[in-house]
Structure 1
Amino acid sequence: MGTSRLHIDLAAMAENWRALDALSAAQVETAAVVKADGYGTGVGKAARALQAAGARTFFVAAAEEGVALRQAIGPSPEICVFGGHMAGDTEMIGDMHLTPMLNSLEQTTRHFESLPGHPFGVQLDTGMNRLGLEPAEWEAARQIVMQAGPRLVMSHLACADEPDHPMNAQQLACFRDMTDGLEVRRSLSATGGILLGSDYHFDLTRPGIGVYGGRPFEEAKPVAHISCPVIQVRDVTEGETVGYGNTWTAEGPARIATVSAGYADGILRAISNKAVLFSGTVPCPLVGRVSMDLITVDVTHLDHTPRHLDLLCEHQTVDDLADIADTIGYEILTSLGARYARTYAG
C-alpha cells in the first residue's frame, strides 16, 4: 500500500462520549459536536457511532455540514448550526430540518421572516467577542425572541481549558445574568466546561475534542491512529544530509527509512527534526524536513527493516504531536488529509 493508513476507533469515541456524559447529572443532556467532518474522523461514521452511544443532538459549524450530517444520521436527531442562519441558507435549513443558533439581530430577522415557526436557538456573547448577541442586543430582542420559543439559548467559554482562569467565572455570571428566569433550555459548556463542574452544565452540554481523544479531557481514550508505510530504506554515511534544506546531517553511519506521508496528509512541517515515529514500542526519530508526500526516519537502532512506522498510536497521541508542533490537538485532527486509507472499528 502506497498511502498511510488512518484507523479510527469508534468504540473509543463512544466510550469517551459516555464518560463525558457521566460527568453531568441525569437530567442534563449530552450532545455531540461533529463539525469539521467529525474533527477529521469522518462525520457519518462518527455521528452514527455517537448516536448509537446515546447522543440525540448534534452540533455543526455551518448549514452545509448539517446537510451532510442529516444524510448520514436520518431525520430524527436534532442538528444545531453554530453559524446560525446565513444569507442563502434558508432552503437548506428548512429542507433538512436544521436548527440555526441565531447570532445577531440580522440573523434573527432573516430567520423569523423567511422560516416563521421553524425551530431555532440563540447564541449569546458573554465575553468571547466572537459570535452571539451582546447583552444590550439581547435586552432589546429578548421579549420577541422568547415569544417565538427558542429551542436553546447558549454561549461559549473562552478559557475553559484553564480551570483557574477568572474568565470562566466571569462568563458564567454574565450568562446567568442574561438567562436566569427564562423558560428555555440553556447550554454553556463544551468539553472544558463539563470538566469545570455542575455549575457550568445547565441543561445541555456540547463535548467536542474530548470525544475524539484530546485534551483537556485527560482520561480520553485515543481515537485516531496513523500507520505509515516504509517505501525505501537506505544507508547514509557520516556527513551526508537528508531532505530539503540539508537540515539534518548524519553524525555517523545511519539507516534512513523514507515513509509515505507528508504535509499533504496533515503532518505538520513544524514537527520536522523533532517528532518520532514508532516501530512497535521503539521510538524512531523523524530526521530532516517533512515534505509534501514523504518523511524520513532514522531506523539505525532497529534490528529489523520495518514495513511501516506509526505516527499516532498508544505511545504518541494527538496532543503529544501537537505539543511538538507548538499547536493544539484540534489542529492535528482536523488537518488529516484525504489520501489516507481509512479503516474503522467498533
Structure 2
Amino acid sequence: MTHTDPQLHGVDPRVAGGRLTVDLDALAANYRFLAEQSTPAEAGAVVKADAYGLGTGPVVEALVAEGCRKFFVALPEEGLAVRASAPEADIYVFNGLFSPEAAAFYREGRLLPVLNSQSDLSIWEAHGWDDEDAPRPCALHVETGMNRLGLTPERAKIVAQENALTGALTPRLIISHLACADTPDHPMNRQQLESFQALGALFPDAESSLANSAGIFLGGEFLCDVTRPGVALYGSNPMNGTVNPMQSVASVHARIAQLRHVPAGATVSYGATPVGRDTLIAVTAVGYADGYHRSGSGAGVPLRTAQPVGSHGYIEGRRVPVLGRVTMDLTLFDVTDLGLDTLQVGDFIELMGSNLPMDELASACGTISYELLTSLGHRFERHYVRSGDHI
C-alpha cells in the first residue's frame, strides 16, 4: 500500500522539484534485524526530529505493526505526534521539563519524561500525572561520561535514597547514552557501562537502557533491558569501518529543470567554476534549502581542499558529478557522458538511495547521515511505499 494522505505527500508531484521516497518495508526489516540483535533485550525506537526527517506518522505506524512498544523523542510535541499513531505505547521524552507548565503536555499525551536534573525532579513530583497503580511514572537519565544531560552520580544516589522513603516518583526506566559506541574498542564504552551498572543498581525496580544503534552491536551487557535504535532504523551504518548491515530506507531524487550546453572554458554557478570540456549540464530543482548540503559542492567550498571529490547523482546507470557550487534551489550535474538524447526536462536524478548510500553522501558533505536525514526539507513530493509498490 501507499499512503494517500495529502499532508504526507508534501508538494504536488506536478510541480515538486524533488521526490523523497520512504521504503517502509525496509524500515520494518531494519527494525526486525535490530530487535533480533537486541535479544534478550526489548528494542524500542528513536523517532525524534520527525522520525529523522522521514515522517512520524508513517514511520511509527510501520514500527507498531512490527511490535515496537517503546518510543523515544526529544520534545513533548513530538511525543504527542507519536501518540496519535501509537495509542498503547510507552513514549519517553529525552529533553526533560523546561517549566511547570510543560507538565500539561505530558499529561495530555500520557508521555513519560526523562528527568535529567533536580529541577526536572521537582517539577514532575509537583505537577506530573499518576498512573493507575504508581505515582509520577518517569525515566531517569544518569550521567556516565557524555556530560550533556543527566543526573550526576552523586545526585542519582541521593534521589534513590529519598525516593525509597517517599515513593513520590516511579522510575520505569534508567537510561544513559554512549559517547563512542560506533568505535567498539574505545575504552570509554567499558567505562560508561560499569558506571551505568553501578547507578542502575540503585533503582532495582526499573528497567535499564544504554545501547543506541551502535551500542546494540557491542552486544552482551550493553544491551541491558531496552535498546534504543535510531539512525540504523533509517538505513545508516551504525558502526565505523564495517559493511553496512542495514537496508536503504530513504531515497531522494531531484527533477531536471533544464539541460544546457556550455563550451570548454566557460564558468558555472556562484564563484565561476571553470569547465574543462564542452559540457552538458543537467540543472536540477533541489538545493541546500531542501537539505542537499552546499558543502557537497563539486568546487568552491572549503571542504574540497580537504576532500577533493564532491557529491554525485545517479541516472541511467551512471554516476554524474555535481558541477560547481550547490545553490539554494538548484544543483548542477555534469551529464556529458550520457548525451542529450538520453535525458529530458522532468527526468529525475537520484541524490541519495540504493545507488548512492546516505553515508557516502554524508562523507562527501563532511557530515554524518543524521544531519542529512534531519535536514530534508518540506518541498519534496513524498512517497511511502510498502508491500512491493513502486513509484
State the TM-score, normalized to the length of structure 2.
0.86
Q: 2:220 pairs with 198, 215, 235, which one?
A: 198
Provide the rounded CA distance (Å) in 2 between the counterparts of 1:68 and 1:25. 28
Question: Where does residue 165 of structure 1 map in the other structure?
Answer: 186
Question: Where does residue 5 of structure 2 map in the other structure?
Answer: none
Give the CA deviation at 1:124: 0.4
Instruction: Name structure 2 gaps, 5 residues minimum.
Output: 1-13, 299-309, 387-391
Provide the rounded CA distance (Å) in 1 between the counterparts of 2:39 and 2:279. 57
Spell out the pairing of 1:1-346 with structure 2 (5 A cutoff): 1-2=14-15, 3-26=17-40, 28-73=41-86, 75-87=87-99, 88-115=101-128, 117-146=135-164, 147=167, 148-180=169-201, 182-216=204-238, 218-246=244-272, 248-273=273-298, 274-303=310-339, 304-306=342-344, 307-346=347-386
SS in 2 for 1:89: helix
**Counterpart residue type for residue 152 of structure 2:** E
Q: Deviations over 1:228-253 (max 9, x none)?
A: 1101101100110111111x212121
SS in 1 for 2:325: coil
Provide the rounded CA distance (Å) in 1 between the counterparts of 2:176 and 2:253. 39
Give the CA deviation at 1:68: 1.6
Do 1:24 and 1:198's aligned partners in 2 also have CA atoms closer than 8 Å? Answer: no
Give the CA deviation at 1:10: 0.7
Give the CA deviation at 1:9: 0.5
Report the count of equivalent residues. Answer: 343
**Counterpart residue type for residue 184 of structure 2:** P
State the TM-score, normalized to the length of structure 1.
0.96
Give the CA deviation at 1:143: 2.2
RMSD: 1.2
Provide the rounded CA distance (Å) in 2 between the counterparts of 1:203 and 1:327. 32
Do 2:172 and 2:205's aligned partners in 1 also have CA atoms closer than 8 Å? Answer: no
SS in 2 for 1:229: strand
SS in 2 for 1:186: strand
Provide the rounded CA distance (Å) in 2 between the counterparts of 1:280 and 1:159. 39
Do 2:136 and 2:170's aligned partners in 1 also have CA atoms closer than 8 Å? Answer: no
Work out the percentage of aligned pairs sharing the same amino acid: 40
Q: Deviations over 1:27-56 (max 9, x none)?
A: x11100000000000011101101111101
Provide the rounded CA distance (Å) in 1 between the counterparts of 2:271 and 2:232. 38
Instruction: Name structure 1 gaps, 5 residues minimum.
Output: none
Question: Where does residue 10 of structure 2 map in the other structure?
Answer: none
SS in 1 for 2:58: helix
